[in-house]
Amino acid sequence: MANIRPAAVLCAMSLLVLAACSGGEPAAPVEEAAAPAVESEAQAPAAEPVGMPRTQSAEGARVFFITPEDGTTVTSPVTVEFGVERMDVVPAGVDQPNSGHHHLLVDTEMPPLDQPIPADSYHIHFGDGSTSTELELEPGEHTLLLLLGDHLHVPHDPPISSPTITITVE
């Protein structure tokens, strides 16, 4: 059986994550490669996913919504402004201490903290370093959550996330 080095896996995952981030645009799905064949008759046990190293967050760092406020009724498009304290906002791929970029989670739960944040319609990446957006939402109740990601889109340790807010779109 081939021995895959953790550094090679980390490098490959990093390249995929950086390619997936496109300044708020959902990424196309990536097909998984087939598992290598095992030469013996006995099958090797399935490997557990390897978590990525997490970047240390600044003590007391936090992210929050400037607008909208929790519990408000709004119209679409919704103006969403992000705030951050004790961390710098930088574009994805910039590896500097006490920095990261925003991810807006819409109508979903917190993703795994040791993996890159998914890029889809529920996990909107702001890898360009932006701190606001106009969000088209259907009428009804929606939840919003901010999560700061490091240069590789992995949540910090400890994670820097906002409280979940609920808004109603008319």
Q: What is the pLDDT along the chain (170 residues), one digit of tens a residue?
A: 444 444 443 444 444 444 444 444 433 333 333 333 333 344 444 444 568 899 999 999 999 999 999 999 999 999 999 999 999 999 999 999 999 999 999 999 999 999 999 999 999 999 999 999 999 999 999 999 999 999 999 999 999 999 999 999 99
pTM assigned to the model = 0.73
Q: How many CB atoms lie within 10 A of CB 17?
A: 26
What whole-number distance in Å separates Cα of residue 22 and Cα of residue 151?
A: 13
What letter would DSSP give residue 22?
B
Helix (H, G, I), strand (E, B) or coil at 73: strand
Beta bridge partners of 62: 85
